[in-house]
Chain A
Amino acid sequence: MSDKHSIPGPLANEGLPLAERGLFCDAPPRQYQRANKITEAFWNWARAQSLWILGFGTGCGAIELRPLMTSRFDMYRYGIQPRPTPRQSSVFVIGGYASVKTLKRIVRSYEQMMGPKFVVALGSCTINGGMYWDSYNTIKRIDQYIPVDVYIAGCMPRPEALLAGFQELKRIIRAGRGEGQNEYARKFEWYKANQKQVIKDWNMPDYNW
C-alpha cells in the first residue's frame, strides 16, 4: 500500500444513515502538547507502571494473553491489568491476524481510547501477514491502519515473549517515545485513506471519540 491514496471526499460520517450522523463527533483529532519536561517524565513513569490493557482477541495469538493472568506468569506484578472498556485502558493488544471485519472494530476501539495510548501487536500476522499473507480478507501490516509501539514476533509468541514486549513498551513510554496518539492525529488522513481502502462497506462514524 502506498502513501498516494487521497481521501475520498470530506469526512462527514458519510457511511452512516442521515438520522445517525448527528450522534457522532465531527471534529478531527488534534495533537496534544506534552507537559514540561519534569512533569512529563513523572507522568510517563506512572503511565509505564500502570498499563491497563484492552485485550482484543483478534487472532489465534490472543490465546497467549490469558496465561498472563494466571499465577504462573502473573502480569499484575508489573502493573499490568486487563480492562474491559476502551475508555479506561491505555494499551491495546492486537492479538494476531486481523480480518477486514475485525479491522473495523480495531479502528473504532482504538479511537475510543483516551490518550496517551499505546499499541502492542503480537504475532507474525500483524507484522507481515504471517501465514495469512496471501489471504483475501486479512490485512498484512497493522501499522498502516493504527500506530504501533511494539511488535512481538513469533507464531505464536510465548507469554514470556509478551512480558518482554511489555517491558520494552515500558522503556519506550519512560523515554517519552510513546506518542502514538499524536502520530495518529498528525497522519490522520493517511491512516483514514488506508483504512477506507480495505474496508469497503464503511458503515461507521469517521471519528469515534
Chain B
Amino acid sequence: MITAILTRVGYALVSLFVITNYGLLLIGSMARISAKVQGRVGQPVWQPYLDIIKSTAKRNSISHGVMFYLGPVFRLAGGVGTYLFIPAVFGSALFRNFSDSGDLLLVMYFIFFGQLGMALGASEGGHPYSAIGVSRGLAQMTAFEVPFALSVIAVAIQYKTLDITAIVAAQQGGFLHWTVATNPVAVVAALIAFLGMSMHNPFSVVIAPQEIPIGPPTEYQSNLLGMLQTNRAIFNGAKLVLYMNLFFGGATSLPVMVIKTFLIYFINVFVGQAFPRLRVDQSIRFFLGAPTVIGVAGVIIALL
C-alpha cells in the first residue's frame, strides 16, 4: 500500500518535472517563432530558464506582508493542482498523475483558484497598477469562462461523465471519435476561450508584458517572480493537456502529446501575430457575444 502510494507520488513528480521543462521550452520556442514572423532573430529558446535563474539569484527582495507571499504560492498550487488531476498520457502509469481521484469540475476549480489567490496577493502589494491588472484580469477571466464552461458542459453531456479519463477513453479509435469531429461547434467556443486564457495577443492587455501597467505581478520580484515564471510554464502545459484530453482525443504516448499540445498552442501564435490587442471592455464584449452563442449552440448540439 505504502509503496504503491509512494510510487504514485514519485511518478507524479517526474511527470511534473517533464511538464515544467516542456512548458518552458514551449514558451521559449513560441517567442522565437513570433520573432521570425516579425523578421527578427528573437531570443534563444532557453531564455525562460535564464530568466528564472536570474530572478532566483537576486540578492534581496522586499515583502508586503503574509498575503503577498501567499499570492504566488496559491498561483503555483493552482497550476500544479490543475496539472496533477489531468491524465497527461492516456493509459500510461507514469503520466496518468492522480486523474482517477478528481474530475473536470475539480480541475476547473483549480484554474480559477490560482487566479483568485494571485489577485489577493497582488492587491496586498499596494501598487495601483497591480490593482488595475487584477481587475482587468478577473473581468476578462469571468468573460472567457462563459464560452469555456459552455463547451465543457457540452462535453459532459456528450460523454455523460465528468471523469477526464473516461472522456479520453470515449474518444479513442481514430480521428472521427474526437470531440473536434463529433461536436466541432463546442470546440470552436472552447478554442476562442483558450485565446483569452493564454493571454496572448488580442487578449494580452491583462499581462501587458512590457508596458507601464504590467498587471498583477507589478510588485513581485526576485524569487517570488521566479515562482510565477515557473508556474506560467506548468499552467500552460496543464491547460494544453486539458484541451487535448477534452477535445482532441488525448494522447497515448509522450510524442503524440507533445505534437498535439504544440499544435494547439500554435493557434495562439497564428491569432496573436495577426490581430492587434483589444481593450478589456472590448474583449469582455467579444467573449460574451459570438463565442457564447457558439457555446450555447454546442450544448444544444450535444443535447440532440
Contacts and interface: CB of A to CB of B under 8 A. Distances in A.
Contacts of B213: 84
Given A50-B50, A84-B210, A85-B218, A76 B59 contact: no
A49 B50 CA distance: 7
Interface centre among A50, A74, A81 (most CB of B within 10 A): A50
22 contacts: A32-B59, A46-B57, A47-B54, A49-B47, A49-B50, A49-B54, A71-B38, A71-B40, A74-B40, A76-B31, A77-B40, A79-B43, A79-B50, A84-B208, A85-B219, A87-B218, A87-B221, A90-B54, A114-B59, A114-B221, A114-B222, A116-B58
4 nearest interchain CB pairs? A43-B57, A46-B53, A50-B54, A87-B221
Interface residues of A, number: 25
B51 to A, nearest CB: 5
A83 B212 CA distance: 8
A30 to B, nearest CB: 9
Interface of B: 31, 35, 38-44, 47, 50-51, 53-54, 57-62, 129, 208, 210-214, 217-222, 225
Given A74-B35, A114-B61, A88 B225 contact: yes
Contacts of A71: 38-40
A88 B212 contact: no
Interface of A: 32, 42-43, 46-47, 49-50, 71, 74, 76-77, 79, 81-85, 87-88, 90, 114-116, 181, 209
Given A46-B53, A77-B35, 17 more contacts: A46-B57, A47-B57, A49-B50, A74-B42, A76-B42, A77-B41, A77-B43, A79-B50, A83-B214, A84-B212, A84-B213, A84-B218, A87-B220, A87-B221, A114-B61, A116-B59, A181-B59
B47 A79 contact: yes
Contacts of B218: 84-85, 87
A81 B39 CA distance: 17
B221 A79 contact: no
A16 B61 CA distance: 24
B68 to A, nearest CB: 12
A115 B54 CA distance: 11
A72 to B, nearest CB: 9
Nearest to A209: B62
Nearest to B53: A46
